[in-house]
Chain A
Amino acid sequence: MSCSTVRGILYNYISAYVDNELSSTDRAAVEKHFEICPHCANEKFELEQMKITLHNEFAYSSPYGLEEDIMNRIAESTESDENPENERKKKFSWRWLNYVLPPLATAVAGVLIVLALLPKYHSRIDMEEQIVSAHVRSLIEDNLTHIESADTHQVEPWFKGKVDFVATAKDLTENGYILKGGRLDYVNKTNAASIIYQFQEHVINLFIFPTKEADMATVQTFKNRGYNIVKWTNNGLEYCVISDLNLEYLKKFAELFRTENSISRINTNFNPETAYLSGNY
């Protein structure tokens, strides 16, 4: 191996040699070359000298107090993370969704409402369709609750002045049905109250709206687009429960809701104040 012709490449090998980064074969070959080439042997020696100096003399140490400054800043940043104001800022990167989803959801809702208002949708089947659509819409819009509360005494009065009947919410927490809140919706050509519950991961929408149908002694069940629907009427109001929860648990919910002691009745002379007072509030 002549170092005058392959010097550039050989230099890399000498450099890697002093770094101890050569394979044993290459290492042996380079060592052999050192024996016959004083230039390269000397080069190796020079690199080793430089290596020692660089390693021993040129390291900067971090200044005193930097460690403390850093841990203080980290502690501050974790505290500010817990502050909801900053939580919003931190999640800013997801906020583009806020600009994309509402127009999309509005478009979807608009289309659904137009469909809902078409005359041919006024039959009973279409009623189910509307319930399913309203349910799906509430999930799509990420606008499930207009009032978010697990307290019936906050959810019920919220509907005051928004619907012309008293909407009832019941606390069924101990049975696993967690009250999430309420939402104003529109089904059957009228304002409907939706009471939202959650059972494990399943969202339950309970739609309440006026009806002319007579009271029912038992509940009716339907299945539409994979959703289970349980409905009953009572005192001029129709109750429609819908969820992807299995039918057994949904019926249990309906039974609990029906039997739980509470009054809800239509307020024919609609007046927000009296509607509010005539509830079980």
Chain B
Amino acid sequence: MNKNLLIEQFETKMLSHMDSAYNLAKWITGHDQDAEDVVQEAYIRAFRGFEKYTDINSLSWLLTIVRNTSYNWIKSKHDYKHLIEFDESVHSASDEPSFISERSQGLQPDKILNSSSNKNLLHNALKEMPLIFREVIVLHEIEGLSYKEIADIVGIPVGTVMSRLSRGRRRLQKTLSSRMNRRSHSEL
């Protein structure tokens, strides 16, 4: 295919996903500059494969590349193994539903997220989450991808997407509640 035509098609089809790509890279790497570098790298890799993959779901495809590039990026920069791998035995107990006990401490759910400081708490809670939960929440809640699309991008079964999302949310709620409680205690 003609190079200029190829570049033109690439621009039309792929550049509209730039925000999604950046958002995912930023949530995975946690840094602005890293995210920019990852997105650049991912787009260049996407361009190399673009001719072959013109018929597929371009957003899922791009995000798969962004995700892989991000993982390689953090692996090459640090030993982030402990963030990437997730030890079931360590975490599963804390993922037990906690809403009943937390609720009894007097949090009103409809008020939780209304103030900007609480939004910050939620933001930080998500930021500090283990990567395997964080990425599915980002892909689903922020990017609005379906379970099936996430399953393809992350390379896990749909059922695992469902349970990871569910557990991720539980952890988010739990972290949020405990931090809000801590804050309200310190305010007293």
Q: Do A and B come from one complex?
A: yes
Within 89-111 of B, Cβ neighbours of A (below 8 Å) are at: 96-97, 99-100, 103, 109-110
- Asked whether B23 lies within 8 Å of A46 as measured between CB atoms, the reply is no
A46 pairs with B173, CB closer than 8 A = yes
A42 within 8 A of B: yes
* A12 adjacent to B137 (CB under 8 Å): no
Chain B residues with Cβ below 8 Å from A63 are 22, 32, 36
Seed contacts A21-B146, A45-B110, A58-B126; 11 additional CB < 8 Å A-B pairs = A8-B96, A12-B166, A15-B162, A50-B172, A54-B126, A54-B137, A58-B141, A69-B40, A70-B40, A73-B43, A74-B43
Is residue B153 within 8 Å, beta carbon to beta carbon, of the partner chain?
no
Top 5 nearest A-B pairs (CB, nearest first) are A62-B22, A15-B166, A54-B141, A46-B109, A12-B166
Q: Which A residues lie at the B interface, using CB under 8 A?
A: 7-8, 11-12, 14-16, 19, 21, 39, 42-43, 45-47, 49-55, 57-63, 66-67, 69-71, 73-75, 77-78
Measured between beta carbons, the chain A residues less than 8 angstroms from B169 are 15, 47, 50
Q: Does B156 contact A (CB under 8 A)?
A: no
Query: Which residues of chain B (137-188) have a CB below 8 Å from chain A?
Result: 137, 140-144, 146-147, 162-163, 165-166, 169-170, 172-173
Selected contact of A46 from candidates B11, B47, B112, CB within 8 Å: B112
Residues of chain B lying within 8 A (CB to CB) of residue A46: 99, 109, 112, 173
Chain A residues closer than 8 Å to B162, beta-carbon distance: 12, 15-16, 21
Structural contact, B18 and A67, CB atoms closer than 8 A = yes
Q: Evaluate contact between A53 and B27: CB separation under 8 angstroms.
A: no
Closest Cβ of chain B to A60, distance in Å, is 4
Contact at A78–B166, with CB atoms within 8 Å? Answer: no
Question: Quick check: A62 and B44 within 8 Å, CB to CB?
Answer: no
Provide the main secondary structure of the chain A interface: helix
Residues of A within 8 A of B112 (CB): 46, 49
B-chain residues with CB within 8 Å of residue A47 when the two chains form the complex: 169
How far is B32's CA from A150's CA once the two chains are assembled, in angstroms? 56
B29 to chain A, nearest CB (A): 11
Known: A58-B123, A58-B126, A61-B22. A53 touches B113 (CB 8 A): yes
Are B173 and A50 in touch, CB under 8 angstroms? Answer: yes
Across the interface, B142 reaches (CB within 8 A) one of A42, A55, A69, A74, namely A55
A161 to B97, CA, bound (A): 89
Interface size, B (range): 35 or more
Assess whether B83 is interfacial by the CB under 8 Å rule.
no
Q: Once the chains bind, are A50 and B113 in contact (CB under 8 Å)?
A: yes
Residues in chain B near residue A66, CB distance under 8 A: 18, 22, 36, 39-40
A73 adjacent to B166 (CB under 8 Å):
no
Distance from A36 Cβ to chain B, minimum over Cβ atoms (Å): 16
In Å, the complex CA distance between A76 and B97 comes to: 53
Q: A21-B162, A73-B44, A74-B44 given as contacts; is B23 within 8 A of A60 (CB)?
A: yes
Residues in B neighbouring A69, C-beta threshold 8 A: 40
User: In the assembled complex, how far is the CB of residue A43 from the closest CB belonging to chain B, in whole angstroms?
Assistant: 6
Q: CA A164 – CA B30 in complex, angstroms?
A: 73
Which residues from A are CB-within-8-Å of B43?
A: 70, 73-74
How far, in angstroms, from A200 to B125 measured CA to CA in the complex? 67
Quick one: closest A residue to B138, CB to CB? Answer: A58
Q: What B residues does A75 contact at CB under 8 A?
A: 7
Complex alpha-carbon distance, A59 and B142, angstroms: 6
Which of A12, A45, A61 has the most chain B CB atoms closer than 10 A to its own CB?
A12
Q: Are A53 and B122 in contact (CB under 8 A)?
A: yes
A63 and B18 alpha carbons, distance in the complex (Å): 10
- Is the CB–CB distance between A55 and B144 below 8 Å? yes
| B73 contacts chain A at the CB level, 8 A cutoff | no
Residues of B within 8 A of A11 (CB): 97, 166, 170
B3 interface contact, C-beta 8 A: yes
